[in-house]
Amino acid sequence: MESIQAIKQRFGIIGNNAGLNRAIEKAMQVAPTDISVLVTGESGVGKESIPKIIHSLSHRKHGKYIAVNCGAIPEGTIDSELFGHEKGAFTGATQTRSGYFEVADNGTIFLDEVGELPLTTQVRLLRVLENGEFIKVGSSKVQKTNVRIVAATNVNMFEAIKKGKFREDLYYRLSTVEILLPPLRARKDDIHLLFRKFASDFAMKYKMPSIRLNEEATDMLTKYRWNGNIRQLRNVAEQISVLEENRSITPDTLRQYLPNTSGNLPAVIEHEKSESDFSSEREILYKVLFDMKSDLNDLKKLTMELMQNGVSQKVKEENESLIQKIYGDDENEEIFHEEETTTAPVKLLSIPPEVTVIPETDKYHFAEEVEEEETLSLHDKELELIKKALERNKGKRKAAAKELGISERTLYRKIKQFDL
């Protein structure tokens, strides 16, 4: 078996940190087996190197190695990408397509950012891990595959399981062996080595002299908290290599490329929002909404009082005018009285029965005069209609009956009944 140092040289891994060495050692130990491996660590720590080591040292090294970034594939197409689809399975599926699990049969699949997989895809992946079976999208045929899965994530899996975003059974199937890569801030002795390697690479790439840090700048580089880990360090080295004419880098120059720094102290990293933070924000939002509701209720109450006072005065004037028309000016004394409350309705007294005043309501107030209509009995109306029909038809019963819509016999009986 190759040594750890030989593996580092082979895959371009720089550093002598104990945590890094332990991760490489575990990868070398599990490589000859087919057990699933979960690589964990922060974003930018170089997790993609571990599955390459595992594949190259396994008996599958002559098979295909496919790396899949699960977070970069849209949710609607990830099942098709991983497991394939049949022609006509969905809009745009113009032909049958093989998925990664079919193409990588007898090889290795690296599922990067596996924590971003949709729950429906997690169910399909669990079946592959348990018995090596999968079904293409739009098909009912079960297919077999012999694929080794190495997954990686920068998500706190236990937190994701607690929130229902990741299946617990799938986690334990993926993490038969878990390999943790330490963050760059835990590898302080490796930071300057990595920076020098990147500076040398960019000097060759851009055909310019390599940049060098003085002692104070090196100390600042080492103490800085690299939130983006190796990826961020590489970007800083590239920026300085391209933009700085002076190839000797001082702390003042380096500080311009390190955000959130104060002198040579480590940067302050913002902590992730906890549940209590979100709870506090919700409480503040609820308080603001309740205050707004209270203000609206006060405004509504004030508006209603103004409307009631204004309308009450209008009703009073209308009722006074109506009484003056009925009784005259002399009869208008002591007609109205108000109760002691400020919003009490105005009451109308001594109103004659033929006049109805509608009491004050919340919105509109009006008074109207009801006229009594003349009424006739059914007997009188029937007699009047028969008389008019006979008069218009000059006594001809047949014509009169037709006009009335009754039979001539019925009309004859009515004439006798009414003694016409």
Contact 415, 397 (CB under 8 A): yes
Contact 167, 123 (CB under 8 A): yes
The predicted model gives 272-276 an average pLDDT of 51
Of the candidate ranges 125-139, 167-181, 366-380, the one whose mean pLDDT is the lowest: 366-380
What does the pLDDT read at residue 317? 63
- Helix, strand, coil fractions of the chain, as percent rounded to 5: 50, 10, 40
Contacts of 49 (CB under 8 A, 6+ apart): 11, 13
What does the pLDDT read at residue 274? 52
pLDDT tens, residue by residue, 81-120: 999 999 988 888 889 999 999 999 999 999 999 999 999 9
User: What CATH number does domain 4-182 carry, 3.30.450.80, 3.40.50.300, 3.40.50.1820, 1.10.10.10?
Assistant: 3.40.50.300
Of the candidate ranges 213-217, 228-232, 238-242, 369-373, the one whose mean pLDDT is the lowest: 369-373
d(CA 170, CA 38): 11
Q: Which CATH architecture group holds 185-255? A: Orthogonal Bundle (1.10)
Distances (CA, A) of 237 to 124, 155, 257, 332: 42, 27, 9, 99
| Domain definitions of the chain by residue range | 4-182, 185-255, 283-346+360-365, 378-418
Residue 14 has pLDDT above 60, yes or no: yes
The predicted model gives 68-78 an average pLDDT of 92
Could you please report the per-residue DSSP string of 124-181?
Answer: HHHHHHHHSEEE-BT---EEE---EEEEEE-S-HHHHHHTTSS-HHHHHHHTSEEEEP
Contacts of 289 (CB under 8 A, 6+ apart): none
Cα dihedral angle (150, 156, 162, 168), rounded to 10 degrees? 10
What does the pLDDT read at residue 319? 56
What does the pLDDT read at residue 313? 60
Other C-beta atoms closer than 10 Å to the C-beta of 241 total: 22
